[in-house]
Structure 1
Amino acid sequence: MVNVTIVSESFNNFSLEDWTQNPLDDTEWVNGKLIEKNGMTLKHSQSQSRLDRRWGNYKDESGLGGEVYTDVPCLTNIQGRRPDVAYLTPALVSQYGNQKVLPQSFPLSAEIVSPTDYAEEVIAKSAEYLQSGGEEVWLIYPENRWIIIVTKNSRLIFSSGETVSTQTVLLDFSMPVDDLFN
Structure 2
Amino acid sequence: MAQAPEQTKLMTLDELLALGDAHIDVINGEVIDKAEMGVLHHLILGNVYSALDRFVKVKEFGEVFPYGLTYLMCSPFDEISNAFIPDVSYLRLEDLRRAIWKLELPYPDVPYLAVEVISPREKAYNIQNKLYTYLVKGTEQVWIIYPKTREIYQYRRDNNPEIRIYRASGLESIDAESLFPGLQLTTDDIFKLPTWAQQ
Same fold (TM over 0.5): yes
TM-score normalised by length of structure 2:
0.75
Matching residue of 1:88: 91
In structure 1, C-alpha distance between the alignment counterparts of 2:65 and 2:123, rounded to whole Å: 24
Which amino acid in structure 1 is aligned with residue 125 of structure 2?
A: E
Cα shift readout 1:80-104 (whole Å, capped 9, x = no counterpart): 1111100010112223374311122
Structure ranking higher in strand proportion: 1
**2:108 maps to which of 103, 112, 116:** 103
Task: Please say if 1:157 is aligned against 2:165.
Answer: yes
**1:24 maps to which of 20, 26, 29:** 20
Given that 2:53 and 2:63 are in contact with CA atoms closer than 8 Å, whether structure 1 keeps it comes out as yes
Given that 1:47 and 1:181 are in contact with CA atoms closer than 8 Å, whether structure 2 keeps it comes out as yes
In structure 2, C-alpha distance between the alignment counterparts of 1:158 and 1:19, rounded to whole Å: 39
In structure 2, C-alpha distance between the alignment counterparts of 1:76 and 1:16, rounded to whole Å: 14
Which amino acid in structure 2 is aligned with residue 73 of structure 1?
A: T
- Larger C-alpha radius of gyration, 1 or 2? 2
Structure-to-structure mapping, 1:43-62, within 5 angstroms? 43-61=40-58
Structure-to-structure mapping, 1:3-42, within 5 angstroms? 15-19=11-15, 21=17, 24-25=20-21, 26-42=23-39
Tell me the CA shift for residue 172 of structure 1. Answer: 3.3
**2:179 maps to which of 157, 166, 169:** 169
- Structure 1: gaps spanning 5 or more residues: 1-11
Which amino acid in structure 1 is aligned with residue 146 of structure 2?
A: Y
In structure 2, C-alpha distance between the alignment counterparts of 1:119 and 1:30, rounded to whole Å: 13
Which amino acid in structure 1 is aligned with residue 107 of structure 2?
A: L
Which amino acid in structure 2 is aligned with residue 118 of structure 1?
A: K
Count of residues in Structure 1 that have an aligned counterpart in Structure 2: 170
Q: 1:133 to 1:41 in 2, by over 3 A?
A: same
Question: Identity of counterpart residues, as a percentage?
Answer: 25
- Structure 2: gaps spanning 5 or more residues: 1-7, 75-80, 193-199
Matching residue of 1:67: 63
Given that 2:25 and 2:32 are in contact with CA atoms closer than 8 Å, whether structure 1 keeps it comes out as yes
Tell me the CA shift for residue 65 of structure 1. Answer: 2.7
Q: Give 4+ residue runs of structure 1 displaced > 6 Å after superposition.
A: none
Given that 1:20 and 1:101 are in contact with CA atoms closer than 8 Å, whether structure 2 keeps it comes out as no
Given that 1:20 and 1:80 are in contact with CA atoms closer than 8 Å, whether structure 2 keeps it comes out as no
Cα shift readout 1:82-128 (whole Å, capped 9, x = no counterpart): 11100010112223374311122101110001111233322321121
- Which has the larger displacement, 67-76 or 22-31? 22-31
In structure 1, C-alpha distance between the alignment counterparts of 2:165 and 2:72, rounded to whole Å: 26
Task: Please say if 1:131 is aligned against 2:136.
Answer: yes
TM-score normalised by length of structure 1:
0.82
In structure 2, C-alpha distance between the alignment counterparts of 1:117 and 1:35, rounded to whole Å: 10
